[in-house]
């Protein structure tokens, strides 16, 4: 174990050339790169994207590029560890701030990656997913699962901004990412399932035998009003100093609301500091409301409403709420994927 | 197929005696009894238990027998198809009306059958299940799953009556029914999980890695107020003439709230008639509110609040609400058991 | 807890009559019968059915009753705890010895209960299950799952005897037992799946996407030759004094081969005594080969080839092989059902 | 849809600089790269690695680098679509040919990626996995699942060569790849589970209640002799012109033998041509025996024993066996991962 492994330079040039000719490469000079000892060596760097800085740039994009030439007018949050233009904030997480101006639409389409959006600002926008029309209010989580047709519209009067989160990098990595387009959908004339069918925990529409099984994604919108109320109640009762967290799940199965990305709503009580275990997942945190600080691997971020920050795998993270109000965040992570791989892990802080 | 099978009488007496001596019996004379052709031959008969008749008898039981000598003061709803004293209303369903007087308690105990109770009348009672104290209001469904310690108390001033539903007959049949007793439990000082943790559909407490898994039965009380509100909303949106039904499920898994018995809340809109498919399950219907009629295999029951009626397997059932108010029922059935056996089936009406 | 519960006799006659008129019954006088304290009170009694005594009676049935008048010429093993004519050997287990004479057939039919048969004597019989023709050799286990069409035929020259095991009592209890008939099936012209597709542990036919999913019961025959060879190998390697046991499972899922009944092949090494934990299941043991003794709740059975014996729930059982040969048994039990109910349990010996 | 999207060049330099300063990037110029229309644009190129060319280079590696300086003496099969030194043959598949010389050992270690090896040449090597000693014969598949301790040894007299297949690229992508080391393990003194416990399809060791659950990976070796015999039998019976394929599965659950990588044994009958549907998985094919040709997206590979070739996602592949003998291949693919993501798909040939 102690001995240094051989390097590429130690191999004769002719041998190296013969390997290259045959699409072969020696493992041992690369071994410690792909299988480091003791723990992973993440490339991802923690970063804070301040909404106050991002918002003007996003509105400027609206002015610079008509939606027809952008299709989706999005500024992608690029991991500084990967260099300019990286289409991801963490290994599995694409996060982008999208702007929709009054009257604009996004064409109906579907793609292999799954998406969820968290509404940041503005009223009047909606997403239609497989015919189900979901209104979009601040803090709402709206799903567009992989393979589901979706389009967006905006019947309001002010710009709408939302945060898109997708497992796009995973599908790019798998060489399985692609999209298809279609005409705009005719939405059904009824409220979305969270208003019609999934109104109380533990109650689901009775299954009709012989009919098609329940939709794989029966509930597409998780209204923030419910989430905040549930967090506040949980915080009243739970022990202090411990995270107050709710996972977004499929109400028919209890599984994560999307196959690879997980979404966890967090509340920090006023003045509270929470220091969770290190997790094998990376994460993007979006601030729905309140102010505070996050220290990620020693880097300090002061956050406020609509800010977004990231953390790599196995990061030491400390969250604290500032001021007299609680802070509310949604953590976007890849725990569902890691659990499907049998790999998810938590470790004591370092 | 046409030929009649041999009968017991056709066999020589000496042969029959030799069989009996050897604990043997010929199949063919019994064949059509245990395996009838074309469909099952249920023993269970439909029946309506009127609360107006049952209630005085139950209160009289309170006067006749001190709770110490009754342990649980219950009048069992006995299937008339099985003769007097049958401890069941349907093959898998024990249903009994229980009376608890102010200040009375039921000793802490647990048993292999699973139970749920539906509160019928009176305020102030509670059930403690594995330390979780569940208040009991009219229409609430409160679970005491098999193996869970539970006791009851009554801090109110009026008699409390509830309907117990258990899969006791199944465990008696399996020769697996028994109970154990213990001292009263010290309840935890916090609201039960439906008030603390399961406040919104699709949101569950974030799972902590490495801790014990979520309790097998994380939510023990389903408050009627939520159920009725959800039914009314669903009825506003769903198609008329079709059952408005919600299943009670485990909010962590989407599975039925108990392993063998299922509970389905039903609403009939004012004046509405619903004629569902015939089901392979038998059922007991309890009326939480409203009035109407049910026709079960041609037998007509006019029902009102707190009444209870039963239906055998594959029954033709027609429900209708009477008057200007909707009717609300909870259907207790054995669909979860039948689905675990791969046997549940629905058929067109005969 | 100490106080005796009130009895039926203590209640006024008029009150008892009023209850009966209303199809009601007081729980408390029956309470200890249906929910005994501390453990179940099984009705089932252990019993040994000697093949040497059963065989002549079965052959006599062949002489007394033509197959047309018997449909299936079976002597049912009746639990002595239930009295003459009981169509079961244990709560969930029907067991019957069936005789098929050369040239006889059993009509094609299907039923809600699931069956398996263990071939006891004779060559040349076969079962066709949903078109799959399964030859039947001594010790083979052949499945006819609930709902599957099946018929039997006999192309040999000597009587064939097999042991049928069904969960018939469960379906009778559920009021769900019935049968349907059809013309004889035309078997497919290929060996059954155990000869064609399931030839090695851990290898299954590659699943074709978009085609119908694998049959729910992909392998219908478990040849004894393989079972015995695997048991002998396992016995060579495993620790002495501990049961050498293999469960029959679905090779596509690892689940029990039928939904409610389990089948476990056992080997006792020459001279070995095995004293397993007490199980919450009842069981019927069939001796495929070898001799020995079983002591069930203190009752001693000397067993030899083709004998069958039963044991109630939570029985203390001690098995011992006699002579220089190992003993081979197949244990039929209801562990799959009990595990689906979350109720299966093992306890130390008493 | 028809309009070209805006490009990076069309944006003002100052705007682009402001974005870069804020770790932001516009989506629309990159949109078609990460989400192409109509189907994925794989980077992976099909390639054939001839064993006759690879073997001398691998033996030369043995001469050039002592095992101490190589740890594992492996030549990695690098996808020509990714450029020199790529540590992968396809998105999720690392494949490398490993050489072990007589007397050499590989140190005990474990890592987050899962591995399987297929033995190519030489006798006498073995792998110890969590104490289970697996001998390695030509064509055997031996698993070292993620997290399992493993070491290799070689008690024979000739070089041993095997093909390692790992989901290493996935764990590198997830920033979760790492290894740990430990002293050599003391193997248990009994044959591995495929020789001891999993000897017949549909038979598994009886589960002991209350004990630790069956190992997650109960069978670590799949002997080629069994696989080839089962393939030949299946080919005798199955329809011609259709792939004769067996999947390697966990005998306790029927799931794929590893969480993300799938292994499928294929047989081509003498002279047979097989043209399967296009699959969303990429694949690496290893030739265990026989000769033939594969045409992958129009590129023709003549293959013989121990050759290995690759195919990208949705490739058109045609296999044909040459000569009088059947050809046997093992296909390594990522269908288990894709099925866990709900993404696996097959399409008609183009
Ligand atoms: Fe989209
Ligand atoms: Fe109870
Ligand atoms: Fe039958
Ligand atoms: Fe390794």
Could you state, in order of their start, the residue ranges of all structural domains in chain A?
Answer: 47-207+215-347
* C-beta of residue C311 within 8 angstroms of C-beta of residue C245: no
| Chain C nearest C-alpha distance from D175 (Å) | 32
Cα C170 from chain centroid? 12
Strands A317-322, A262-268: pairing kind: unpaired
| D216 close to C (CB below 8 A) | no
Query: Is the pLDDT at A188 greater than 90, yes or no?
Result: no
pLDDT at position B124 is 97
pLDDT at position C71 is 85
ipTM: 0.95
Choose the closest CB to B146 out of C43, C64, C343.
C343
| CB pairs A-B closer than 8 Å | 134
| Chain B nearest C-alpha distance from A255 (Å) | 7
Cα–ligand 3 centroid distance for C65 (angstroms): 19
Chains in contact with chain A (at least 3 beta-carbon pairs closer than 8 A): B, D
Cα D185 from chain centroid? 26
* C-beta of residue D150 within 8 angstroms of C-beta of residue D109: yes
Which residues in chain D are closer than 8 Å to C252, comparing Cβ atoms? 254
> Lowest-confidence range among B211-220, D265-274, D326-335?
B211-220
Which residues in chain B are closer than 8 Å to C45, comparing Cβ atoms? none
* B16-33 average pLDDT score: 96
> Lowest-confidence range among A68-72, C41-45, C168-172, D39-43?
A68-72
Query: Is the pLDDT at D60 greater than 90, yes or no?
Result: yes
Q: Is A65's CB within 8 Å of D30's CB?
A: no
* B276-296 average pLDDT score: 97
Choose the closest CB to C230 out of D199, D245, D246.
D199
pLDDT at position C210 is 53
Do chains C and A have 3 or more beta-carbon pairs under 8 angstroms?
no
By percentage, how much of chain D surpasses pLDDT 90?
86
Sorting pLDDT into bands at 50, 70 and 90, what band is B143?
A: very high
| B34 close to C (CB below 8 A) | yes
| B43 close to C (CB below 8 A) | yes
Query: Is the pLDDT at D1 greater than 50, yes or no?
Result: no
Distance CA D191, CA D221 (A): 11
Query: Is the pLDDT at D43 greater than 70, yes or no?
Result: yes
DSSP assignment letter at C254? -
Of residues B280, B277, B312, B281, the one with CA closest to residue B297? B312
| Chain C nearest C-alpha distance from B232 (Å) | 33
Q: Which of residues 135-194 of A touch B (CB under 8 A)?
A: 190-191, 194
pLDDT at position B310 is 98
Q: Where are the alpha helices (DSSP H) in C30-184?
A: 31-34, 51-64, 67-70, 168-173
Interface residue of B133, B202, B338 to substitute, partner A, most A CBs within 10 Å: B202
Sorting pLDDT into bands at 50, 70 and 90, what band is D214?
A: low
pLDDT at position B1 is 43
pLDDT at position A1 is 43
Chains in contact with chain B (at least 3 beta-carbon pairs closer than 8 A): A, C
Which residues in chain A are closer than 8 Å to D176, comparing Cβ atoms? 40, 280, 313, 338, 343
CA dihedral (C330, C331, C334, C336) positive or negative = negative
DSSP assignment letter at D216? S
| B210 close to A (CB below 8 A) | yes
Q: Could you tell me which CATH class the domain A47-207+215-347 is placed in?
A: mainly beta
Cα C126 from chain centroid? 19
pLDDT at position B152 is 94
Sorting pLDDT into bands at 50, 70 and 90, what band is A96?
A: very high
Which residues in chain A are closer than 8 Å to B237, comparing Cβ atoms? 190-191, 196
Query: Is the pLDDT at B3 greater than 70, yes or no?
Result: no
> Lowest-confidence range among B140-154, B239-253, D113-127?
B239-253
Query: Is the pLDDT at A246 greater than 60, yes or no?
Result: yes
* D293-300 average pLDDT score: 98
Of residues A227, A142, A216, the one with CA closest to residue B204? A227
Query: Is the pLDDT at B19 greater than 90, yes or no?
Result: yes
| Chain B nearest C-alpha distance from A102 (Å) | 30
The residue assigned the tokens 């040039």 is A13
Choose the closest CB to B178 out of C35, C86, C312.
C35
| A328 close to B (CB below 8 A) | no
Regions of chain C with pLDDT less than 70? 1-3, 208-214
Distance CA A320, CA C306 (A): 74
| Mean pLDDT of the residues in chain A | 94
| Chain C nearest C-alpha distance from D273 (Å) | 18
Q: Dump strand ranges (E) for A112-177.
A: 115-121, 125-129, 132-135, 141-144, 150-154, 160-166
Q: Is D247's CB within 8 Å of C206's CB?
A: yes
Q: Which two tokens stand for residue B8?
A: 């017991």
pLDDT at position D208 is 66
Cross-strand pairs, B244: B267
Which residues in chain B are closer than 8 Å to A344, comparing Cβ atoms? 209
Which residues in chain D are closer than 8 Å to A174, comparing Cβ atoms? 91-92, 313, 334, 337-338, 343
Distance CA A150, CA A108 (A): 5
Cross-strand pairs, D327: D268
By percentage, how much of chain B surpasses pLDDT 90?
86
The residue assigned the tokens 């389903």 is B222
| Chain C nearest C-alpha distance from B219 (Å) | 18
Q: Which two tokens stand for residue A116?
A: 């969820």
For A313, phi then psi, to 5°, come to -60, 145
pLDDT at position C1 is 43
Q: Is A25's CB within 8 Å of D61's CB?
A: no
Count Cβ atoms below 10 Å from residue A56 Cβ, excluding itself: 10
Which residues in chain B are closer than 8 Å to A264, comparing Cβ atoms? 206
By percentage, how much of chain A surpasses pLDDT 90?
86
Choose the closest CB to D25 out of A75, A91, A180.
A75
Render pLDDT for B71-124 as a digit per residue (tens, 0 to 9). Answer: 889 999 999 999 889 999 999 999 999 999 999 988 899 999 999 999 999 999
Which residues in chain A are closer than 8 Å to D170, comparing Cβ atoms? 173, 341
Count Cβ atoms below 10 Å from residue B87 Cβ, excluding itself: 22
Q: Which ligand is nearest to the CA of B128?
A: 2
* A301-314 average pLDDT score: 98
pLDDT at position C162 is 98
Q: Could you tell me which CATH class the domain B47-347 is placed in?
A: mainly beta
Cα–ligand 2 centroid distance for A188 (angstroms): 47
Q: Which ligand is nearest to the CA of A168?
A: 1
Sorting pLDDT into bands at 50, 70 and 90, what band is B238?
A: confident
pLDDT at position C3 is 67
pLDDT at position D106 is 86
| Burial call D127-147: b when 16+ CB within 10 Å, e when fewer | bbbbebbbbbebbbbbbbbbb
Which residues in chain D are closer than 8 Å to C199, comparing Cβ atoms? 201, 226, 229-230, 233-234
* C-beta of residue A281 within 8 angstroms of C-beta of residue A307: no
Q: Which of residues 242-281 of C touch D (CB under 8 A)?
A: 243, 245-254, 257, 264-265, 277, 279
Taking CA atoms, D44 is separated from D86, D92, D116, D339, in Å, by: 11, 11, 22, 21
B200: Cα within 13 Å, side-chain hemisphere = 25
Distance CA B326, CA B289 (A): 8
Q: Is B191's CB within 8 Å of A237's CB?
A: yes
pLDDT at position A208 is 66
């Amino acid at each position: 174990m102690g001995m240094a492994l051989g390097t590429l330079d130690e191999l004769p040039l002719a041998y190296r050339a013969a390997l290259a000719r045959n699409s072969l490469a020696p493992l041992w000079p690369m071994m410690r790169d792909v299988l480091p000892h003791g723990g992973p060596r993440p490339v991802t760097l923690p970063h804070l994207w301040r909404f106050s800085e991002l918002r003007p740039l996003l509105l400027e994009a609206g002015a610079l590029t008509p939606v027809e030439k952008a299709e989706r007018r999005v500024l992608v949050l690029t991991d500084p560890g990967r260099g300019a233009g990286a289409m991801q904030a963490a290994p599995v997480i694409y996060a982008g701030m999208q702007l929709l101006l009054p009257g604009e639409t996004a064409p109906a389409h579907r793609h292999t990656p799954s998406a969820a959006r968290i509404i940041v600002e503005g009223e009047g926008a909606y997403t239609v997913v497989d015919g189900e029309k979901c209104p979009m209010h601040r803090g709402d989580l709206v799903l567009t699962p992989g393979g589901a047709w979706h389009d967006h519209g905006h019947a309001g009067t002010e710009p709408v901004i939302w945060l898109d989160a997708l497992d796009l990098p995973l599908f790019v990595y798998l060489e399985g990412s692609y999209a298809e387009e279609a005409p705009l959908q005719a939405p059904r004339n009824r409220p979305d399932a969270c208003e019609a069918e999934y109104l109380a925990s533990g109650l689901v529409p009775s299954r009709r035998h012989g009919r098609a099984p329940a939709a794989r994604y029966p509930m597409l919108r998780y209204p923030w009003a419910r989430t905040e109320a549930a967090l506040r109640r949980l915080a009243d009762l739970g022990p202090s100093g411990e995270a107050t967290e709710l996972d977004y799940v499929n109400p028919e199965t209890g599984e994560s609301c999307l196959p690879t990305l997980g979404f966890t709503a967090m509340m920090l009580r006023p003045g509270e500091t929470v220091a969770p275990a290190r997790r094998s997942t990376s994460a993007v945190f979006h601030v729905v409301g309140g102010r505070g600080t996050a220290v990620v691997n020693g880097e300090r971020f002061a956050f406020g409403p609509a800010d977004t920050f990231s953390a790599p795998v196995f990061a030491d993270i400390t969250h604290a709420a500032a001021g007299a109000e609680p802070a509310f965040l949604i953590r976007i992570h890849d725990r569902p994927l890691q659990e499907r791989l049998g790999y998810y892990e938590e470790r004591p802080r370092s």
